Amino acid sequence: MKTFEYNALPSRVVFGVDTLTAVAAEIQRLQGTRALIVSTPGRSEFAERVRELSGISATEVFAGATMHTPIEVTKKAIRVAKRHRADCLVAIGGGSTTGLSKAIALRTGLPQIAIPTTYAGSEMTPILGQTENEIKTTLNDPRVLPDVVIYDVRLTLSLPPAASGTSGINAIAHGVEALYARNKNPLTSLMAEKGIEKLADALPIISEDPQNLDARSEALFGAWLCSSCLASVGMALHHKLCHTLGGSFGLPHAETHTAVLPHAVAYNAESAPHAMRSITRSLKSDSAAHGLFELGCSVKSTMALRDLGLDETDLDRAAELACQEPYWNPRPINRAGIRRLLHGAWNGEAPSN
């Protein structure tokens, strides 16, 4: 076995069905007495359930989380936290909600409990993306890592089938890129292969039967495994492309990951044969790129960036931006190749290999 380094991150995880009831004990463990509960406007009923179960009377809800963590929203939430004299944060929702909680924690030092309700995976990472003056920047800082994560499978049952499929493939993308990361290691590779397998098995079942608790459990466990990989090793071309398409063209996060991933994998296939073998094993397919394309189709997601609002005339600029300050990638980035890759994803065609 080759020499490797692995950085474990300190976080406590409670996983199961109906584990939301553990929130009172977890607030107590953090010695919290005054909680600010964070959610998106659409999920305020989740925040109210946390309030009921919190075991403390001093709770305040801030149901204003939005995509891309705009700094104005963070400032507003911090004002509410200060007025309430909050001593802990509880974030219940997807990556947008977790992002807001991280942004508050960074500036206030408050301890956080994250309760994810999608498969996005932000809860396990020390990474925060935030937007100021329409520019999105990303930082990596241990102060934003949630102290406790409560995974309650039941909270994912309400995630619509289409959103479940794309959110799950967003999670798979973390595992895929971990398998060919420059700083990959045997631990993250184990987690990635298992995480991809669990999600790939569960997502088509969820697409047909969104209330299937067993499939939901497997998917959430897979998402946790893949997000642990995202937390530990560097991401590559696929993430650079999705950050470019989301940041500069406003494309939706999970849907973009789903359409781009097969093409990014096809681009890297010859340069990362070991990773491709792991992915094909996980997908039970002959080809990593085709297996991912078929998985996207099987969860009835669009595989065409043009359906997500990208114009054909944007492709040149997207390729140019994606080649600027590229992330490390197993295959060198060449602009003509990236333009071809993007055109394939724009058209929604099956990848070339």
Question: CB of 297 within 8 A of CB of 165?
Answer: no
Collapsed DSSP state (helix, strand, coil) of residue 12? strand
The first and second tokens of residue 243, run together, are 């950050």
Q: Which of 75, 78, 83, 33 is nearest to 55 (CA)?
A: 33
| Residue 118 vs 287, nearer CB to ligand NAD | 118
Least distance in Å: CB of 113 to ligand NAD?
16
The yes or no reply on residue 253 touching ligand NAD (CB under 6 A) is: yes
**How buried is 37 (Cβ within 10 angstroms: 0-12 exposed, 13-18 middle, 19+ buried)?**
buried
Is 129 a binding residue for ligand NAD by CB under 6 A? The answer is yes
Q: State the Cα–Cα distance between residues 145 and 102, nearest whole angstrom.
A: 7
159 binds ligand NAD (CB under 6 A): yes
Binding part of the chain for ligand NAD, among 36-44, 47-55, 185-193, 323-331 by CB under 6 A, reads 36-44
For the chain, the straight-line distance linking the first and the last C-alpha, in angstroms and rounded, comes to 30
Cβ neighbours of residue 11 closer than 8 Å, sequence gap 6 or more: 124, 145, 146, 147, 148, 149
CB of 83 to ligand NAD, least distance (A): 24
* Contact in structure between 299 and 287 (CB atoms under 8 Å): no
- Choosing from 101, 156, 217, 282, the residue that interacts with ligand NAD (CB under 6 A) is 156
Tell me: does residue 216 bind ligand NAD (CB under 6 A): no
Name which of 59 and 156 has its Cβ closer to ligand NAD.
156
* Distance in Å, CB of 274 to ligand NAD, minimum: 25
Least distance (Å) from ligand NAD to the CB of residue 129? 5
For ligand NAD (CB under 6 A), the number of binding residues is 28
Q: Which residue is nearest to ligand NAD (CB)?
A: 95
Could you give the CA distance from residue 70 to residue 90 in angstroms, rounded to a whole number?
19
For ligand NAD, which is the closer residue by CB, 95 or 111?
95
Candidates 74-82, 89-97, 192-200, 276-284; binding stretch for ligand NAD (CB under 6 A)? 89-97
Residue 147: HSE in the Cβ half-sphere, 13 Å Cα cutoff: 18
254, 171 Cβ separation under 8 angstroms = no
Residue 221, CB half-sphere, CA atoms under 13 Å: how many? 15
Q: Is 128 in the site for ligand NAD (CB under 6 A)?
A: yes
130 binds ligand NAD per the rule CB under 6 A? no
97 binds ligand NAD (CB under 6 A): yes
Residues 104-123 touching ligand NAD, rule: CB under 6 A, are 117-118, 120-122
Q: Which residues bind ligand NAD (CB under 6 A)?
A: 40, 42-43, 67-68, 93-97, 99, 117-118, 120-122, 125, 127-129, 155-156, 158-159, 163, 167, 253-254
